[in-house]
Each structure stands twice: as C-alpha cells, then as structure tokens.
Amino acid sequence: MQIYMQITPMDDRPPRFYHLILQQDLLGGWTLVREWGYQGYAGRVRREHHDTLEAAQAALIRVRDAQLRRGYRVVFARGEQPA
C-alpha cells in the first residue's frame, strides 16, 4: 500500500512531498516507511516496525490524516485502502 501526497509550492521553492509505504517484512511483521522533503531532492526517511497489519494500517492512517490537516493533498494511492 502506498500513499503519495504533495503540498502546494510556496515562493520559488519546489513542492513538498510526503510518501507513505506499507511493506511486509520477512518475519511476518509490517514496516511503515515515511519519506518526505522537496520534490526533486533527496528526502528524509523514517521506518516504523509494527507487529500486525492492523497496527501498521492504523499508524499509516494517523500519519496521513496529520499531513492532510497540514495542507497536503493525496496525489495517488495504490493498494487496498483501510477505512
């Protein structure tokens, strides 16, 4: 599951992005990968391990909703969307 978001560019800077990816690891757990920064530049990356898919989806939704409140808009989403 992936969600890619952008915020409207300000001044002469490129737009900012926020990318969320849910991946299953080899031991049966789940990793939420969060990457953010300016479009066209290397971003910052943070990985969070979760024991269950439900916990990982809840974390993804929590981060997504926080970024939507900050002004980001979903550009594309791929995969099964949790409620």
Q: Quick one: what percent of the chain has pLDDT higher than 90?
A: 75
Q: Are 32 and 50 in contact (CB under 8 A)?
A: yes
pLDDT digits (tens, 9 = 90+) for 24-46: 999 889 999 999 999 989 899 99
Indicate whether 32 belongs to any domain: yes
Asked whether residue 83 is domain-assigned, the answer is: no
Please report whether residue 17 resides in a domain. yes
Per mean pLDDT, which range of 3-7, 24-28, 31-35, 79-83 is the poorest? 79-83
6 inside domain = yes
Closest CA to 56 of 26, 17, 76, 82: 82
For 39, the domain range is 2-78
Total count of domains within the chain: 1
Specify the pTM. 0.86
- Categorise residue 11: left if φ over 0, alpha if ψ from -120 to 50, beta otherwise: left
CATH number at residue 22: 2.20.140.10
